[in-house]
Amino acid sequence: MRLEGGVGYNNGGTDTTVSSPGVGSVSTNLLGGGGITADAGIWFDSPLGLPDISLGAQYLYFSDSGSITASSSAGPILGLTSATANLNLITNAMMFNAEWRPSISGFHPFLGTGVGVAFGTLSGSALGFSASNSQTSVAGQVFLGFDYDLTSNIYAGVTGRFFISEATYHAANIGIPNNIDITNRPISLTAHLGLQF
């Protein structure tokens, strides 16, 4: 059994579509809106006697931010033909993973995938208004990296990760409903430290 935790940075794509009655919709890719990422997990090596295979449960955290400009297709609204919103997306996810992790003289390359549930909270502000909404969605990931045994029970390494989840968030300003469809797909790099028993 291994206990592991890591921290790093994510900077990936966030496909965002904002739609509102009377205004229309606008789509953008908030590439470059990144932030802090962290993870913690428990792993079981060689379950059921399977060599070089590990199964684990993992918590993931992503913090992302960006801005989007929407233009009205129905003419000026509140005297404006367009408006810019600042969006912040916090994602907490619980993942169940399988990885291939051989041991080569204390060096462990690994490659894995996982599925789970993402709990996302989107907050935003525009035209002096602010709103937030939380949604739950299915999530997936693929990851690779390596770690190295520092001692007989402590190891350290690096993980590269591609994560994806999709949800529709709802926010209302001055009584106007807004739907914000987000496909969140951050790419992250984290350094991790682990304890094996």
> In which region does residue 63 sit, left (phi positive, over 0), alpha (psi from -120 to 50) or beta (all else)?
beta
Residue 45, number of CB atoms within 10 A of its CB? 18
Q: Rounded to an integer, what distance in angstroms lies between the CA atom of residue 162 and that of residue 143? A: 6
Q: Cα–Cα distances in Å, from 35 out to 58, 90, 134?
A: 19, 10, 19
Domain count, the chain: 1
CB 90 within 8 A of CB 121: yes
Global pTM reads 0.81
What the block records as the tokens of 13 is 């794509």
Q: What is the CATH number of the domain that holds 28?
A: 2.40.160
Model confidence band, residue 169 (pLDDT cutoffs 50, 70, 90): confident
Residue ranges making up the domain that contains 133:
2-196
CB 1 within 8 A of CB 42: yes
Over the stretch 15-38, which tens digit does the pLDDT of each residue have?
776 666 555 555 555 545 678 899
4-18, 88-102, 106-120, 148-162: which has the minimum mean pLDDT?
A: 4-18
Over the stretch 90-102, which tens digit does the pLDDT of each residue have?
899 999 999 999 9
